[in-house]
Amino acid sequence: MAYGVLTFTEYQSLIRTMRQINPELVRALRKRYRQIARPVVSGIKGNIPSTAPLSGMVTKVGRLSWSRTMNQSKDVKSVVIRERRKAPRTSIPIVGIVQARAVAAPLALADMSGRSGAHINARSVTREYDYTYHKANGQTYIGKRKHRINGQGRIMIARLASKASRYVYPGAERALPEAKIQMEAAVNDAVQQINQMLRRA
């Protein structure tokens, strides 16, 4: 995302200090993060089409039913990622602060298909996956199945037309500049609060 990275070189130290002084300070900061990130989640939801982008997703049952994408963006979750990786051309570690996840299978498929062409139709048969079977008496049960791959992937990507990401990232990016400003203010406010507490100690 164009505005998705903020750099705070002492962020991990800030969180450790806040936990030592009062763990409630960390919870309050994360609550503020979630409030800041709500417009990003709303932007994602608002950018997801109400009608299925592919005819095969127009169904009320099955793992790829487009109706399952409704209200699919989970509540914003505040996380601190312990794994460290280096940003391009810098030695500053990137630390995850807020995570907004869109996890519905049909949305993930329609949104990101074709991002990398390395594995498109690389197999002749799919991996085994869950499938809803329908009995003659109207009952259903979840079983396993596979199906042959004969070019469906490239046809699907062609019908989706635009490049990945089609919905999630474009929807989030509109709200990210303001979220970045507010996130920076939230961390700076926390730093000032901790400094004041330490000076009084």
Q: What is the residue-wise DSSP string for 177-193? A: HHHHHHHHHHHHHHHHH
AA identity, residue 24: E
Q: Where are the alpha helices (DSSP H) in the chain?
A: 11-21, 23-47, 105-112, 152-160, 168-173, 176-200
pLDDT over 50 (residue 104): yes
| pTM exceeds cut of 0.85 | no
pLDDT bucket at 69, cuts 50 / 70 / 90: low
pLDDT bucket at 14, cuts 50 / 70 / 90: confident
- Rounded-to-integer distance, Cα 69 and Cα 63, Å: 10
Average pLDDT for residues 182-194, to the nearest whole number?
Answer: 87
More confident residue, 4 or 190: 190
- With tokens 């996840």, the residue in question is 101
Average pLDDT for residues 62-85, to the nearest whole number?
Answer: 61
| pLDDT digit string, tens, across residues 120-168 | 656 778 888 888 888 888 889 889 988 887 766 666 767 777 787 888 8
Structure tokens at 66: 């487009």
pLDDT of residue 144: 92
Report yes or no: 23 and 147 within 8 Å, Cβ to Cβ: no
pLDDT bucket at 81, cuts 50 / 70 / 90: very low
AA identity, residue 85: R
- Rounded-to-integer distance, Cα 178 and Cα 115, Å: 27
Q: Which residues of 174-193 are buried (b: 16+ CB within 10 A; e: fewer)?
A: bbbeebbebbeebbeebbee
- State whether the Cα torsion 138-139-142-145 is positive or negative: negative
pLDDT bucket at 191, cuts 50 / 70 / 90: confident
